[in-house]
Amino acid sequence: MIQVDVEEERKEILKRYRRLLRHAKPVLKPGDAKFIKQAFNVSLEAHKDMRRKSGEPYIYHPLEVALICVEEIGLGTTSIVAALLHDVVEDTDWELEDIEREFGPKVMTIIDGLTKISGVFEYGSSQQAENFRKMLLTLSDDVRVILIKIADRLNNMRTLGSMPRHKQLKISSETMYLYAPLAHRLGLYAIKSELEDLYLKYTDTDTYKDIVDKINESKSYRNKFIKSFIQPIEEELTRQGFKFSIKGRPKSVYSIYNKMKKQGIPFEEVYDLFAIRIILESELESEKADCWQVYSIVTDFYKPNPDRLRDWISTPRSNGYESLHTTVMSNTGQWVEVQIRTDRMDEIAERGYAAHWKYKDSSGKSNSGLDDWITQVRSMLESNDGNAIEFMDDFRGNLFHEEVFVFTPKGDLKVLPFGASALDFAFEIHTEIGARCIGAKVNQKLVPINQKLKNGDQVEILTSSKQRPNEDWLNSVVTSRAKAKIKDALREEKKSAILDGREIVQRKLKQMKMDFNSETIEKLRAYFELKTANEFYYRVGKGTIDPTSIKSFKDFKENQKLKHKAIQEKVKDESSFTKEIKSLKGPDHDQLLIGEDMDVVDYILAKCCNPIPGDDVFGFVTVNEGIKIHRTSCPNALELLSNHGNRVIKARWTSQKEIAFLAGLHIVGTDRVGLINDVTKVISNELKVNMRSITVDSDAGIFEGTIKLYVHSTEHLDKLMNNLSQVEGIIKVSRFD
């Protein structure tokens, strides 16, 4: 039992509360402090007997969330009150009606949006996706729901260290799946970067520590470098009478990791490891001219990379971000990213949505990009009556990062997500134009509707009254607006096919003496590898799935029953797995031991990522194939952990020296006579490893090859990779899934 010093805790709670009030002071109107105090007292009383996993009083959490809302997002009193009360309805006896009576309808609406859905969910559906959908639906009423939820998630991620491993994986993956892209979309760059860094910290701790150590090692060199880099710029800016500040900062850990992974390079080869930010004090009407003048000064001293100039001042990003970016070559031969912006732009970049309102009011300058996006999301939310996972896919497609700027025939600018087609553009102009689109002219040239658009394209849409949207159109668009409108048009036609399909399936199951219920349908959906039950019905109704093939599902199911142990029938999710394993192996067992528990529970290693002993893994309870073991870095992990976290179970390796696992290596080098011979010698003779296949390609003196071989563990694989990289001519050896 942890000994608690009640008096010390009381002092700490008051200290945190006062800190919150101190930060909130600039935004408080008369009477607000009393309103906040009332919310604090209600929250303190409601959570008085609750503690967090770390052992701290639960009230620390709502206090920290409220502080993030004020200090890091820039929200006001209503949000502070809602943040203090955000868990009261979910965790205590308080009802939404009580909140409305005491704190008014605005606070009640926000808290309703933040409260998870309780109750029983249909077998195979995703409670997480349903909760995401409920929260996102409130975007229509109040954006503050999402902003407070992001603050809540940031505090959860900052305190994730005290959670068990499988919960860390689930929460981190949800964060990366939805909350980091949402923070990016709402312009909260500082929060987005921290969420990504924390995701990496908990899902790939070794890589995270390695990058942090390397950033710290180079700190003194970096500071010296930045000092000498900015000195001539500072002198010239001062001489020309600018008021400014210059910050030098390393790239975030996650963005460095991303670059290393995408380009397959070590830390030392990431070329723009740090960025310099020049922030000017400037009047609104001269902002643009001032930023370009500073650009001119920077490029007088350092040569810019012409491919790396980004002008987000003339055309701000659709989340309102404004800045001028260039990458220049320093005198020591290193690339440095330079960002030039004003105080106003900097606050919008750091604080996103909340800062927009402040500047919109004072300057009259509209933040139409964000308003347009929220309007778009609203229309998508209103028209979406599909299942929650499908909804999440559509919504995430709307959280695009890159954009293209294109023009109408009259020269109006339209901002679309990267990868948008002529058909996306047509729906952007008007729903009817989209639905009747037969082609387009891009820069006066005739192109098909799926033509991808590039920056600066001028687009004219061609229509025909006979044209109708079809299923294939969904593969030609990326915007949620276009997808939603096409789905609307298809839905009517689809409804009758779904009803036909449902009837056929019902008849077929009756003939085969099988129950027609949500569990059977979910298993059929998984067997035919479709995303939703309606999709399955639709394909049966349309005849693309032959009703007789449902018979093969029954045979498959019979075989599965013979193959799987009795426990498999009882295990549906994490809680039922834990209960079963404890009853079979004793109260101390709550995880799957890979290599030991085969006699108790069936599991297979997932083919999408081929885990081997030593890999960081988790178990996933599938609908049809028992438990599958995935690597935490598996390409499918993010979606599985985010939408089906309740089916994730703890799993770890036991020693399996005698078993061999398949792994893949990718080798790059300079070609020479005898190279293949030396590579196979290392694999077969030195380490006695069995190879399954080797493919080699040589072009203009560069050698590239892939090898599939059997190893015992990651340690074994690392040793092999190390030995191979010593072979003369080999430049790089990397593992692939």
Q: Is the pLDDT of residue 602 over 80?
A: no
* Mean of pLDDT values over 326-346: 90
Can you give the pLDDT at residue 562? 45
Can you give the pLDDT at residue 120? 47
Structure tokens at 425: 């553009």
Q: Is the pLDDT of residue 526 over 90?
A: no
346 is catalytic: no
Closest CA to 84 of 48, 39, 19: 39
Active-site pick, 45, 91, 519, 686:
91
Q: Is the pLDDT of residue 301 over 90?
A: yes
Does the domain formed by 6-162 have CATH 1.10.3210.10?
yes
* Mean of pLDDT values over 705-725: 84
* Mean of pLDDT values over 590-598: 66
* Mean of pLDDT values over 73-81: 89
Confidence at 363, pLDDT banded by 50, 70, 90: very low
Q: Is the pLDDT of residue 645 over 90?
A: no
In this structure, which CATH number among 3.30.300.30, 2.40.170.20, 3.30.70.260, 1.25.40.80 belongs to the domain 661-736?
3.30.70.260
pLDDT one-digit tens code per residue, 136-183 = 776 656 778 888 989 999 999 999 988 888 888 888 988 888 888 888
pLDDT one-digit tens code per residue, 653-667 = 776 555 677 888 888
Q: Is the pLDDT of residue 532 over 50?
A: yes
What is 215-365's CATH topology? Answer: Beta Polymerase; domain 2 (3.30.460)
Closest CA to 278 of 331, 328, 215: 328
385 is catalytic: no
* Mean of pLDDT values over 409-419: 84
Pairing assessment for the beta strands 459-463 and 445-447 based on DSSP bridges: unpaired
* Mean of pLDDT values over 190-213: 92
pLDDT one-digit tens code per residue, 419-456 = 899 999 999 899 899 999 999 999 889 999 999 998 88
Confidence (pTM): 0.74
Which helix (H) or strand (E) covers residue 222, if one does? helix 219-239
Confidence at 600, pLDDT banded by 50, 70, 90: low
Confidence at 362, pLDDT banded by 50, 70, 90: very low
Confidence at 648, pLDDT banded by 50, 70, 90: confident
Active-site pick, 5, 45, 90, 235:
90
CB 643 within 8 A of CB 128: yes
| 333/423: higher pLDDT | 423
* Mean of pLDDT values over 619-640: 83
Closest CA to 443 of 496, 469, 406, 392: 406
Average pLDDT, the chain: 82
Q: Per mean pLDDT, which of 219-233, 380-394, 523-537 is the most reliable? A: 219-233
Task: For residue 453, give the DSSP letter.
Answer: P
Can you give the pLDDT at residue 357? 59
Instruction: Report how far residue 195's alpha carbon sits from residue 180's, in angstroms, rounded to the nearest whole number.
Output: 6
Domain ranges of the chain: 6-162, 215-365, 566-653, 661-736
Count of helices and strands (H, E) across the chain: 31, 21
Structure tokens at 199: 């995701």
Can you give the pLDDT at residue 560? 54
Can you give the pLDDT at residue 620? 87
* Mean of pLDDT values over 307-326: 86
Can you give the pLDDT at residue 340? 96
Q: Is the pLDDT of residue 113 over 70?
A: yes
Can you give the pLDDT at residue 379? 65
Can you give the pLDDT at residue 397? 65
Sign of torsion, CA 96 102 105 110?
negative
Q: Is the pLDDT of residue 398 over 70?
A: no
Can you give the pLDDT at residue 515? 79
Can you give the pLDDT at residue 297? 95
C-alpha of 474 from chain center? 22
Q: Is the pLDDT of residue 404 over 70?
A: yes
Can you give the pLDDT at residue 581? 66
Structure tokens at 324: 């001028």
Task: For residue 48, give the DSSP letter.
Answer: T
